Structure 1
């Protein structure tokens, strides 16, 4: 199944149109929600607004990663230089990723989706798992253990463990840090902290930037990964080895920003900017393909499938043997 088997040439052309204006609006929207959530806590400090802010900011941090993903496909902005700059400095570096490292890795995932050479297969192959296993993972995510572990692994992978490779010079190690995105992460985060400090609100950085990044962002990233490819019915069918999960307003705000839930549509037509994904979904529904597609009504239903002994419909993880977790 190819995109041209489903969409007409005119539909592909219309759906694939990019926009500098919309790209700028999306990036601005993400940062405005982050700033607005912080402002809400400053204006009305209490446990409820703080927890809500952590969730909204963590959701927008994932949103920045999603916009970086669009930039990796060259879709966030029509102008290439703007796409690369904003995708790296305004989306990737703030949350500790690197557009240039992510792009080849991610494109390989698209070439080999749910196949042996898929670099993301490790994320979906272990499912289904037990509820107890998922609860342990959720606890590690929400308490920050996952976030700290991943950041440590990122540093070790680029800088190298202390005492390892003694022949490397400090200049060579510094170059590694730059290639791993850690220098960019440090620069952008230093600017964020400095701006908050100048405003007399230095505490916002650890409380409402780092905390969401190390907790809520980790949890919803896990849920998104599960929803996209875990317990899919058929690893060899492009309409069934990737999942679209329907989402309401609150889910889109806190868990699935910028239409990331329309993952099947993204895999079917890689030239779709994220804001065109709902239109592609409506077209597929209008063409009567609903029964051939892996579409689920909610993330809660997907998680129930992912924590069952056998995936709904007998699909398991597309035939992959579950690992013991």
Structure 2
């Protein structure tokens, strides 16, 4: 079945907005600042634990911003995409947006085939409940994060693409993270930077896994070229807002694969149009991330 939308109908969804894009970036950083302020005002282990989870969600927001700016679809002004990708998102995750997008574009070209470079992340699903619990346990205990970052530091390669790191990639990441630490130190709360590190090594790794599962694991046919069969779209709900899909539209991954040039803040409306025209009638859809986990289990 062809995707039921014409080129003329698609044009409004392709429109980009600097105002909407800056709001996504600013709101992510306001969230980070607010979490640190809350932890400073309420110094208690329970507050710190909540902060670790919430900061991991904001780290996912930065990853989503890196993804969108890498595609050059977030901002209408091209130079804003490059600046935000290079300085306000990817380096805080010790990544480089340009290196990431080269590998990611291959994923787009090869999705639905055995040549997909990301296939290893979801090809074995569905899995047993015990297997899934073990995977998330490794994430929450920091085992996945420590292994991944040891690879990053010792291999000289990028964390996701496994390609050789570009010049100054790691140095830029260390620099911007030092700036964050310095701001907290000047504010009188240098110890709070440990929350950022803890979030990155633990909960953020679990969020990455959940995102991979939600986007491609346990779908109708991982080896079909049609986006509606090899990927998944769903409403983000409260779990998405806080953790897995913190930027508007990120959870509509099928539309992103079908029309890569559509900015994230237009994907939800595009999804609703396609759904109203019966595009998903032969798909067993789910409306929550808990539902996704059920589809990822044997």
Quick check: TM above 0.5? yes
Q: Which runs of 5+ in 2 are unaligned?
A: 159-163
Closer/same/farther in 2, CA of residues 196 and 225 from structure 1, 3 Å limit: same
8 A contact 1:128–1:306 mirrored in 2: yes
Partner of 1:231: 218
Match of 2:197 among 181, 205, 210: 210
The alpha carbon displacement at 1:294 in A equals 5.7
SS of aligned partner of 1:296: coil
Partner of 1:251: 240
Q: Whose Rg is larger?
A: 1
1-structure distance, mates of 2:96, 2:246: 20
Closer/same/farther in 2, CA of residues 180 and 230 from structure 1, 3 Å limit: farther
1:49-107 deviations in Å (ceiling 9; x for gaps):
32222221101101110111001111121111111110121011111221110111000
2-structure distance, mates of 1:25, 1:220: 23
The alpha carbon displacement at 1:121 in A equals 0.6
- Over aligned residues, Cα RMSD in angstroms? 1.9
Q: How does 1:105-184 map to 2 (within 5 A)?
A: 105-158=103-156, 178-179=166-167, 181-184=169-172
SS of aligned partner of 2:190: coil
Please say if 1:93 is aligned against 2:91: yes
The alpha carbon displacement at 1:273 in A equals 0.9
TM-score by length of 1: 0.84
Q: Which runs of 5+ in 1 are unaligned?
A: 161-175, 309-325
The alpha carbon displacement at 1:154 in A equals 1.3
2-structure distance, mates of 1:179, 1:26: 28
1-structure distance, mates of 2:112, 2:138: 26
1:240-264 deviations in Å (ceiling 9; x for gaps):
1111133313432233211321111
Aligned length: 290
2-structure distance, mates of 1:9, 1:133: 44
SS of aligned partner of 2:230: coil
8 A contact 2:99–2:165 mirrored in 1: no
Partner of 2:262: 272
The alpha carbon displacement at 1:303 in A equals 1.3
